[in-house]
Amino acid sequence: MRKTHSVVLAFVPAALAALSLTLPAAAADKPVLTVYTYESFTADWGPGPKVKAAFEQTCDCTLDFVSVADGVALLTRLKLEGASSDADVALGLDTNLVQEAKDTGLFAEHGIDTAAARVPGGFSDPVFVPYDYGHFAVVYDTEVIKTPPKSLKDLVEGDPSQKIAIEDPRTSTPGLGLLLWIRSVYGDKAPEAWAKLRNRILTVTPGWSEAYGLFTKGEAPMVFSYVTSPAYHMMEEKTDRYQAARFEEGHYIQIEVSGMLKATKHKALAQQFLSFTLSPQFQSIIPTTNWMMPAAATAEPLPEAFGKLVSPSKTFLMSPEDVAKNRQAWIREWLGAMSMN
């Protein structure tokens, strides 16, 4: 509060006291549910604004989003804040991080019915609730690349003059997804694959937004993103210019989840929000704002553009336990391969 305001208020305590007895409870008196998530979720064009408006109509509360760059950064922040975190709910981790998140001891079992969730592999968990999913893919500019890679081998061993922008697995869930996809296909030979791919990498960005921005600005003809990314360009820009390459061996999947913090002071409200993420209303917001596949039934059919997307022949997904056990070692391997002369 500014000093000038304090001086004025000092002369009218009686008036303020009278007002406090006669005015109805302010909106600020409503409970505030704090949801930690990632920046693209809360962007003006993301699902956050619509989710906030829709949930607040049902909860008699205020929904407050707090955003960080990416899902990995979200988990890092929760670890740093510990039990003193202001978060009631975390939205934006994925199945590659759920075991590590559980191991922090910060999350509580959600206690809600998740039967509505339908995701590839049938992910079900007592702590985390899936709300969308998407297969990772190399998205390319058809005006620059006429023959896109048809497999990871094509990507790894292809023309080094055709660059790709990727995300850092230490800070980004897509970056971690690429790390695990290469590990799933190459196994112990993953460091050698990274050493070859390094020649095609234009840059490694902290998160997805930075990498995709470079791609759409024409600085790289390829970017590591999602099978669903072209739907955005088809619907919002009316162009088929940007497409996802279909890889013969299959695609790694990302299943995004939300969970309730043990330290929440609004347990019932947090549970209500987690249930809401599986509602047709929430799920209908996801496809054309988060540009991912809905994890449950939507209130209306998916847009026509989603029927034109690549359909992976196989889905790769490591168990959360294996990822938690090996993630740091595999990142060290990645760092070693990327720094080789």
In the chain, the N- to C-terminal Cα span, in Å, equals 56
CA-to-CA dists, residue 304 to 233, 238, 288, 292, 307, angstroms: 13, 13, 11, 14, 6
Query: Which pLDDT value is given to residue 8?
Result: 34
> Whole-prediction pTM value?
0.89
Query: Which pLDDT value is given to residue 340?
Result: 66
Query: Which pLDDT value is given to residue 121?
Result: 85
Distance CA 95, CA 75 (A): 12
- Long-range contacts from 305-310, C-beta under 8 angstroms, 24+ separation: 305/230, 305/231, 305/234, 305/235, 306/228, 306/231, 308/230, 308/231, 308/234, 309/227, 309/228, 309/230, 309/231, 309/244, 310/135, 310/137, 310/227, 310/244, 310/245, 310/246, 310/251
Distance CA 121, CA 118 (A): 9
Two structure tokens written together for 326: 């090996």
Distance CA 296, CA 116 (A): 6
Query: Which pLDDT value is given to residue 293?
Result: 98
Backbone angles phi, psi at 253, to 5 degrees: -105, 145
Backbone angles phi, psi at 40, to 5 degrees: -70, -20
The three-state secondary structure class of 231 is helix
Query: Which pLDDT value is given to residue 28?
Result: 57
What residues of the chain score a pLDDT lower than 70? 1-28, 340-341
Distance CA 150, CA 60 (A): 51
Distance CA 54, CA 285 (A): 10
Query: Which pLDDT value is given to residue 254?
Result: 97
